[in-house]
Amino acid sequence: MRMFDIISKKKYNESLSKEEIDYVINEYTNGTIPDYQMSALLMAIYFNGMNYEETTNLTLAMAHSGDMMDLSEIGGINVDKHSTGGVGDKTTLILAPMVAACGGKVAKMSGRGLGNTGGTIDKLESIKGFRTKLSEEEFIDNIKEIGLALTGQTGNLAPADKKIYALRDVTAIVDSIPLIASSIMSKKIAAGAGAIVLDVKVGSGAFMKNMQDAEKLAEEMVKIGSLAGRNTIAVISDMDEPLGLAVGNALEVAEAVKTLKKEGPEDLVNLCLELGTQMLIASKVEENARGMLQNSIDDGSAYNKFLEFIKRQGGDITVFDDLDEFTECNYKIEVKADKEGYVQRIESELIGEASMILGGGRMTKEDVIDYSVGVKLSAKRGDYVKCGDCLATIYAANKDKILEAEGLIIKAFEISEDIVKTSPLIKRIISCKNI
Ligand code: URA
């Protein structure tokens, strides 16, 4: 087999066989196929796509390119949740303890942020002492004992995806449906997830900008998950404005704590209830889960589970005693509206970019992030604002980037006299029953 012939085949829009896909993944992972040939093949896939069989074969080849975790020792059906990437998305921090408080077994494998989207690992590392690297044994023990554990992607889990994702990132080949679907699902399958709930974001701040693409991505991942024997459900949710009010690492942890203490913003609470319901259904704990999840917030059991989880992974829970101190930052600058009217939309990408340039995110993998910085919104879509009202507060560690961040935030807010039509946060739920 020659890589040249495989690239050429995809260039002319022919489908690749399982043997060809296995060859590419094995030889690229062990370094025999160079980056320039792999980039050429990925670009051909970007333009010509892959059929369902090719995407499934690609997913399974990447999943088996390294270690496969076996979580069967936990018993029952463990569940993982994955978001395709959003701005202000701190749902894992809230959902995982809610679901665990309701009897679910949450085996969460999380990533770091890159560009204008955040990562759960970075958010949790804003808590003094919190450990995001667990051995497989500790991961399993924690789930067995408290129903919940969270770890970063271990060294040899789906190494083919790690290498390919890094290449896609620098060659502008990230936003391809078969490549996103296979990347996400290969990691979940290799990590031993029994059930998988996918939060597929759609809108200006997401990879999928329209509903048609979001549905295609969701359906593809649900089909792959089901074929691999993992109960998989996808929730398509809105990303036409940031989720909740806080964007930035410590700011998002503080918002998660408030949400667990019944003071969360409406959109965030609703999304957590919906995703949590699907997680409990997917792991077959409870068919009527929404009430149980709401109760876990109302009776404090979800918050207690959160504290237990943070403590268990080495985090200092006294930091939550005073959230103002936890989110303390050198400069807090209000960004004011320069006109009156209804907020039509808040371009998530620009708010994420503002947080990133303040130091809250990474432009390259090597960048060191500042946990204290970010943006806190004071207005959301549909709100009426007067000239001079505060739209958002910038949390900055130094003065350098404040003006640039302010410009991005002003640009992100589209304000006009038109009354805003509400659009649902949850657009569609897709399982193998309704594809
Ligand atoms: N998240 C992933 O893990 N992979 C992608 O390709 C896109 C988002």
Side-by-side strand order, sheet with 105-110:
148-152, 105-110, 78-83, 195-202, 231-238, 426-430
pLDDT beyond 80 at 406: yes
The mean pLDDT of the chain is: 94
pLDDT tens column, 78-110? 999 999 988 999 999 999 999 999 999 999 988
Q: Kindly indicate the confidence band of residue 114, based on its pLDDT and cuts at 50, 70 and 90.
A: low
Closest approach atom of ligand 1 to CA 85:
8
Among 121, 164, 174, 183, name the best residue to mutate to test ligand 1's pocket (greatest count of ligand atoms within 8 A of Cβ). Answer: 183
Token digits of residue 92 = 């894992």
Q: How far is the CA of 93 from the centre of ligand 1 (A)?
A: 19
Question: Are 17 and 25 contacting, i.e. CB atoms less than 8 angstroms apart?
Answer: no
Residues with C-beta less than 6 Å from any ligand 1 atom: 84-85, 165, 174, 179-180, 183-184
- Which pair of structure tokens corresponds to residue 131? 């450990």
| Residue 84 three-state SS | coil
pLDDT digits (tens, 9 = 90+) for 257-306: 999 999 999 999 999 999 999 999 998 876 679 999 999 999 999 999 99
How many C-beta atoms lie closer than 10 Å to residue 222's C-beta?
26
36 CA to middle of ligand 1, Å?
21
The secondary structure of residue 368, as a DSSP letter, is P
Q: How far is the CA of 326 from the centre of ligand 1 (A)?
A: 30
Q: Which residues are catalytically annotated?
A: 82, 161, 168, 183, 187
Mean pLDDT calculated for residue range 188-210? 92
